[in-house]
Structure formats: structure tokens, C-alpha cells
């Protein structure tokens, strides 16, 4: 978090984390498509030719002034493929809140768990703990046939009982609720420390 007292600006960094193809970029694309252009900046995607995120996507959103203060939210995604482990670590630098986008399909369960452990490990190296860190889970792709039940997903992935949301990011289901929840968690976290 960066606070610029002179301009009364509060900058937060939110990172969308999760396994490859779970819908992290889709979340950002949906947010970008729905927000008024005066509130959402350009969506920058560093992608391969095959449309896979190679480094990150980035977008800044604003909500106007609140009590004279101007909060700005910097949203990032990480590349999901196992191969880009160090890139994921780099993007987490200075992170304030995390959205873990999980894939609800049974054959992606292992990838979900592996990525969650990778996240925990990266946070640890930076002196954070996943238990105390502000984060939320989005169980994405709920519209696909044969997905895991919510109970199973909760049991296998949400071991710290963080807020969770069912999502169909391509349609926008759950996208804004997830973002709102993570922002709330970050603000709560700051207040709890005062």
C-alpha cells in the first residue's frame, strides 16, 4: 500500500492468482468491459502468441473521491503455468490483497492445490503468511458440466475459511462480488492494525 499524503491518494495492489486457464485474465477483461472508461484505465496484457499470459495483465481502477481521499486499485494477474514460477513471485512484490481464482473442474484440482501451495510459499519468502493475509477465493467455471461440488472445493482449497465466491467469469457472474470482497478485506486489515 502506498499513501501519498499530499495528493490524498491511497494505492492498493490486488493480484489475481491461480492455475493456468482458471480465468484470471477473464476477470480483468470483464471488469474492464463493464466499467466507465473514466474509472478504468487501459488493460495491458503481456501475452504469448497463443494468448496465454506470459508476465501479467494490469489495469488501474478508481471510484472517485471518498471524504476527499482518492483510492486507486491496481489489479494484476499472474501467469498460471507452472513454468512461470519466478514471474509469479515478481508480481507479488508489494501486494496488498489476493484473489485466488480456482478452476472448479475435477481434473484441475491438483493444479489448484499446487498453485495455492506455490502462493503460500511465495508469500512466506516475502515475510507474509497466507493465514493472516487478506485474500478471497473465486471458484470459477461453475457453468461447466461435471464440476466439483462447492463442498468439495471448500474442503480441499479453503482451509483458512476466507470469503469465497462462485464465478462464471466469462459472463461476469461473481466477478464484482469477488473484487469488492478482497478490497474490503484489505481495508479491514489496515484498520485492524491501528
Partner 1 sequence: MVRTKKLKDGSRQIILNGKQYEGVTKTLSELASKTKASAILFADMSGQLISQRGNTENMNTTVLSALAASDFAATAEMAKLVGEEAKFKLLFHEGEKRNVYLSNVGDYFFLVVVFDVNVTLGLIRIYTKKAIQSLLEILEEGGEEEGEKDMIDSDFSSLLGDALDETFK
Interface residues toward partner 1, by CB under 8 A = 1-8, 10-11, 13, 34-36, 39, 41-42, 44, 55-56, 58, 60-61, 63-64, 66-67, 69, 71-72, 74, 76, 86-87, 89-91, 93-96, 123, 126-129, 132-134, 176, 179-180, 183-184, 187-194
Q: How far is the CB of 77 from partner 1 (least distance, A)?
A: 12
72's CB contacts (< 8 A; 6+ apart) are 9, 10, 11, 12, 60, 61, 62
Complex with partner 1: residue 29 or 96, whichever CB lies closer:
96
Cell of 81: 503455468
CA distances from 65 to 1, 51, 69, 163, 189 (A): 17, 36, 5, 27, 21
Complex with partner 1: residue 59 or 157, whichever CB lies closer:
59
Residues 174, 38: Cα–Cα separation, whole Å:
23
Q: How far is the CB of 107 from partner 1 (least distance, A)?
A: 31
Amino acid at each position: 500500500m502506498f499513501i501519498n499524503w499530499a495528493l490524498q491518494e491511497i494505492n492498493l495492489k490486488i493480484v489475481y492468482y491461480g492455475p493456468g486457464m482458471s480465468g484470471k485474465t477473464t476477470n480483468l477483461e470483464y471488469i474492464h468491459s463493464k466499467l466507465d472508461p473514466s474509472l478504468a484505465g487501459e488493460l495491458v496484457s503481456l501475452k504469448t502468441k497463443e494468448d496465454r499470459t506470459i508476465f501479467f495483465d494490469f489495469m488501474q481502477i478508481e471510484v472517485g473521491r471518498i471524504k476527499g481521499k482518492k483510492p486507486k486499485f491496481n489489479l494484476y494477474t499472474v501467469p498460471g503455468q507452472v513454468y512461470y514460477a519466478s514471474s509469479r513471485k515478481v508480481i507479488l512484490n508489494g501486494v496488498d490483497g489476493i484473489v485466488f481464482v480456482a478452476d472448479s473442474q475435477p481434473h484441475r484440482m491438483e493444479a489448484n492445490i499446487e498453485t495455492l501451495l506455490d502462493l503460500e510459499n511465495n508469500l512466506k519468502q516475502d515475510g507474509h503468511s497466507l493465514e493472516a493475509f487478506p485474500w478471497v477465493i473465486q471458484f470459477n467455471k461453475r457453468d461447466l458440466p461435471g464440476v466439483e461440488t462447492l463442498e468439495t472445493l471448500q474442503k480441499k482449497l479453503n482451509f483458512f475459511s476466507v470469503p469465497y465466491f462462485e464465478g462464471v467469469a466469462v459472463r461476469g457472474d461473481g466477478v464484482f462480488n469477488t473484487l469488492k470482497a478482497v478490497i474490503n478485506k484489505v481495508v479491514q486489515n489496515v484498520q485492524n492494525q491501528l
